[in-house]
Amino acid sequence: MGFRTDFQDRPPEVFFTVDVEPDCPPYLHGWRGVTEGLPQLLDLLAGEKVPATFFVTGQTAERFPNIVRQLVAAGHELGCHGYSHGRFGAMDRIQAELELAKASSALRRFSPTTAFRAPNLDLPDAFLPLLVEAGFGVDSSEGSHRLDHRVRRLARTRRETTGLLRLPASTTSSVLRLPPGLRDPWLARLERPVVLLFHPWELVDLRGERRLRWDCRAGTGPRALAAVREVIHLFRGCGARFGTVADWAATQTTA
Ligand SMILES: [Zn+2]
């Protein structure tokens, strides 16, 4: 069962999404991913002509406005990844509203921002209406690979999803950094549409950071940049089309 044979009959739509935040939160507190990794990623995406959706935290946008301007100018979509990268699952309603309001005002000075992804893919269903009230039309806070997502998808009521499109991430970012012999069969089995997830800090060599879980540090650094290129070529080789979350939303109806 090869990658091409799984996809060649019906090439997938692929959405490359990037969560932009401090380095591997909450374990590290630097910004090398934004200052060193993100420019490399933008160069790669420009060279490959792949549009992406960048879910940026409000604090990142306040700290690095020029980088946000640069990614918007390059034609990428600006999405919201909260303000402080705090976990929504640990917030009460007032805190969540404040977090969304601060993030929205930090991001919407650069671009209309209508897509949202919660840090750690942790967003209680009770907060979904807050996203709609804050002007978001798409949520990408679920992960197709996660058991809680599968359970919630079965249990979800129609009311909970009214007015909000859901586009789950297909897998964790660490999958992209696996050796190709493991990675490619994994990617071939992903649900459609394929939503890839990546972080600029993965382009920083964190292999010596013993504070991190092994899957956060394995394959980080230059190898991760090569992996992104390989994965783009892999999907493109079977006819996949790349788009932004906004592109996907434009093809959906919320009826
Ligand atoms: Zn994050």
SS in 3 state form for 17-58? EEEECCCCCCCCCCCHHHHHHHHHHHHHHHHHCCCCEEEECH
Cα(154) to centroid(ligand 1), Å: 26
pTM score, two decimals? 0.92
pLDDT in tens, 81-132: 999 999 999 999 999 999 999 999 999 999 999 999 999 999 999 999 999 9
- Ligand 1 centroid–CA 86 distance in Å is 9
What CATH fold (topology level) applies to the domain 3-250? Answer: TIM Barrel (3.20.20)
Boundaries of every domain in the chain: 3-250
Cα-to-centroid distance, 1 and ligand 1 (Å): 33
In this prediction, residue 159 carries a pLDDT of: 43
Rounded to whole angstroms, the Cα distance separating 177 from 179 reads 7
pLDDT in tens, 55-88: 999 999 999 999 999 999 999 999 999 999 999 9
Distance (Å) from CA 75 to ligand 1 centroid: 22
Q: At 169, give phi and psi (nearest 5°).
A: -65, 145
